[in-house]
């Protein structure tokens, strides 16, 4: 009987507390926000935190309350932003630039020295505590997969041959998790459509960089000299490329002796003049910084293969008869009429950098060695294929 009484008492207490909770829930219920719920449904549900809020619920709350813009979710992209803008009754914002994670290092096992064999915990943070990592360059990717384990989208992996992290740009959702966990800070979120990228963070003097890595930036400033639009400034021995000034001519990458600047060569453009519409005003010829447009006054002009695709001529053409198209063949720097290889060498500084000092013998020797290695590499590539 005592067991029965105890069961009845506990059952009665449970029923009483249930009734009390139900009544309290009714009295103190927080009315739901249908707009917030619709915003939450429009979000992809990745809960990655890339928006800066605690998961998709936090992001929906912030957007619905006006504390965050409709394009806060980096995973959803422009389509998600358009849906949320429609829900919030706002005008659709301009399509945002897609961001992707970029590993700013090319120092693989072949090109970057290894100081010692690391056999500890397979984690970049742990390895970086041992003599700042086992790579010769202290700025190099350690390739132990901390970023791989942090990525919720399986968009990054470590190349087993090269020994450093590689991002799958199609899978990357720009959540920034890999950026946060990298102890070497070699991963950045960058616009996916950049025409050129500096693939090195070695902020050391050229002699130190070249001693440890054959594809690192040696701070020779050839890229700054080659740029005709003032888009490159040197800081801490590294070129800083201003995306607002960069016109995608890719001359900086063409001039780089160590290939430390990557360029989207497959997307490099060339100007094309419609001869039926050209009035021969010569404005395009005067705008061209690379002497790649020829023609007489009042006669159709022609674009030579030295064109870098900067698009300055197309912008200034009064008849709008110049279009920019993707190149079908490699640019020929020596196709300018009346010039010599010396005259078109990227060593010739642009007017904006004409007052700079010449390279020191030490830096010049490094440049010459890098250029020789680059020429040998290109010759080998042509011979093989």
Per-residue confidence (pLDDT) for residue 92, from 0 to 100:
59
**Model pTM greater than 0.75?**
no
Number of H helices, E strands in the chain: 13, 12
Average of per-residue pLDDT across 95-106: 87
pLDDT bucket at 142, cuts 50 / 70 / 90: very high
C-alpha to C-alpha distance for 13 and 329, rounded to whole angstroms: 84
CA distances from 149 to 25, 332, 344 (A): 41, 45, 48
Per-residue confidence (pLDDT) for residue 147, from 0 to 100:
96
Evaluate the CA torsion angle 53, 57, 60, 66 in order and state its sign: negative
**Which comes out higher in pLDDT, residue 63 or 91?**
63
Highest CATH level, class, for 36-88: mainly alpha
**Which comes out higher in pLDDT, residue 347 or 327?**
327
Per-residue pLDDT of 185-208, as tens digits, reads: 999 999 999 999 999 999 998 889
**Which comes out higher in pLDDT, residue 238 or 12?**
238
Per-residue confidence (pLDDT) for residue 340, from 0 to 100:
41
| 59-73, 278-292, 304-318, 350-364: the lowest-pLDDT one | 350-364
Contact indicator for 107, 182 with CB cutoff of 8 Å? no
C-alpha to C-alpha distance for 339 and 58, rounded to whole angstroms: 62
Average of per-residue pLDDT across 281-286: 93
- The structural domains of the chain, with segments of one domain joined by +, span 36-88, 102-190, 269-326
Per-residue confidence (pLDDT) for residue 29, from 0 to 100:
61
Q: Do domains 102-190 and 269-326 have the same CATH topology?
A: yes
Per-residue confidence (pLDDT) for residue 355, from 0 to 100:
40
Per-residue confidence (pLDDT) for residue 356, from 0 to 100:
41
Rounded to the nearest 5 degrees, what angle is found at the Cα of 126, between the Cα atoms of 137 and 159?
60
Which residues neighbour 124 within 8 Å (Cβ) at sequence distance 6 or greater?
133, 142, 143, 144, 145, 146, 147, 181, 182, 183, 184
pLDDT at 94 over 70: no
Strands annotated E in the chain: 99-103, 156-158, 165-167, 187-191, 196-198, 232-235, 238-241, 261-263, 269-273, 293-294, 302-303, 322-326
pLDDT bucket at 354, cuts 50 / 70 / 90: very low
pLDDT bucket at 153, cuts 50 / 70 / 90: very high
Per-residue confidence (pLDDT) for residue 95, from 0 to 100:
59
Per-residue confidence (pLDDT) for residue 4, from 0 to 100:
77
pLDDT at 377 over 50: yes
Per-residue confidence (pLDDT) for residue 275, from 0 to 100:
92
- Average pLDDT of the chain, as a whole number: 86
| 139-143, 316-320, 334-338: the lowest-pLDDT one | 334-338
At the second CATH level, the architecture of 269-326 is 2-Layer Sandwich (3.30)
**Which comes out higher in pLDDT, residue 90 or 360?**
90
102-190: CATH topology is: Alpha-Beta Plaits (3.30.70)
C-alpha to C-alpha distance for 106 and 112, rounded to whole angstroms: 8
Average of per-residue pLDDT across 63-84: 83
- DSSP assignment of 232-262: EEEETTEEEE-TTT--S--HHHHH-TT--EE
Most confident of 59-63, 67-71, 105-109: 105-109
Per-residue confidence (pLDDT) for residue 360, from 0 to 100:
61
């Amino acid at each position: 009987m005592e067991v029965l009484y105890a069961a009845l008492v506990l059952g009665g207490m449970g029923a009483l507390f249930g009734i009390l909770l139900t009544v309290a829930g009714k009295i103190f219920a927080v009315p739901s926000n249908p707009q917030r719920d619709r915003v939450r449904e429009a979000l992809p549900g990745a809960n990655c935190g890339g928006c800066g809020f605690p998961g998709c619920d936090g992001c929906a709350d912030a957007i619905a309350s006006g504390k965050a813009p409709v394009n806060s979710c980096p995973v959803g992209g422009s389509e998600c932003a358009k849906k949320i803008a429609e829900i919030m009754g706002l005008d659709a914002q301009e399509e945002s630039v897609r961001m992707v994670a970029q590993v700013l290092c090319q120092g693989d096992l072949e090109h970057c020295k290894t100081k010692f064999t690391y056999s500890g915990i397979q984690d970049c943070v742990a390895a970086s505590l041992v003599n700042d990592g086992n790579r010769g360059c202290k700025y190099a990717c350690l390739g132990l997969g901390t970023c791989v384990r942090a990525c919720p989208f399986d968009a990054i992996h470590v190349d087993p041959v090269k020994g450093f992290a590689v991002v799958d740009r199609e899978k990357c959702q720009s959540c920034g998790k890999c950026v946060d966990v990298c102890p070497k800070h070699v991963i950045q979120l960058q616009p996916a459509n950049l025409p050129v990228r500096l693939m090195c963070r070695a902020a050391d003097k050229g002699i130190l960089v070249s001693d440890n890595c054959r594809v690192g930036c040696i701070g020779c400033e050839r890229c700054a000299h080659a740029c005709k639009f003032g888009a490159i400034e040197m800081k801490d021995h590294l070129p800083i490329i201003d995306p607002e000034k960069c016109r995608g001519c890719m001359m900086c990458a063409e001039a780089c002796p160590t290939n430390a600047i990557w360029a989207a060569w497959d997307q490099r453009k060339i100007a094309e003049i419609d001869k039926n519409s050209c009035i021969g005003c010569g404005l395009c010829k005067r705008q061209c910084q690379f002497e790649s447009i020829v023609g007489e006054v009042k006669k159709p002009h022609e674009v030579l293969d030295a064109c870098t695709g900067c698009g300055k001529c197309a912008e200034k053409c009064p008849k709008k008869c110049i279009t920019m198209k993707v190149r079908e063949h490699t640019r020929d720097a020596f196709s300018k009429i009346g010039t010599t290889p010396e005259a078109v060498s990227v060593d010739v500084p642009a007017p904006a950098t004409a007052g700079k000092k010449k390279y020191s013998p030490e830096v010049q020797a490094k440049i010459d060695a890098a250029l020789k290695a680059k020429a040998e590499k290109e010759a080998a590539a042509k011979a093989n294929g």
